[in-house]
Amino acid sequence: CELSSAGNSQLISCDIDETQSGNYDISFTPCTRGKHQLTIRLGGVNITGSPFTLRITTSPEMRGKPVNIISELNRPFGVVITKNEDIVVAESRANCITILNKEGKKVKSFRTEGTKEDQFTYPRGVAISQDGHILVTDYHR
């Protein structure tokens, strides 16, 4: 695997596993944020679609740090990270959306159980809109 960015190219370690369907699962650890080109070759030949354009948003300073275990969440289902690096979690069994800071401490929870437009029933997915609003999908929507 070769990762390049703004004329800077580096060979990186990556794991390539062929799936039963003939596709490949590729995993690697980037060192920097930003827009990159990922070139993958098997037997000296680029795989179909290579090079791939990637936008790396994971903070490089998180590399190698242990992950906090947050056990008080009730069936976490969907997770998204905000621009402020807060963690938004859909807690399906608790019928709520919880916001944690980057250290994993609970900042806020929204719980409105029901089937009306502004209520949740087993929230499953969360996303952040471009203007910073939390978008939620649940069992009924």
101-120 pLDDT, tens per residue?
888 888 998 888 888 877 88
Q: Which residues contact 109 (CB under 8 A, 6 or more apart)?
A: 91, 96, 97, 98, 99
- pTM for this model (two decimals): 0.51
28-80 pLDDT tens trace: 766 666 777 777 777 778 777 778 787 777 555 555 555 555 667 888 888 99
Strand residue runs (E) in 57-119: 76-81, 87-91, 96-100, 106-111
Tokens representing 55 are 């936008």
Q: Which residue bears the tokens 């609003």?
A: 133
Rounded Cα–Cα distance for residues 7 and 15 (Å): 24
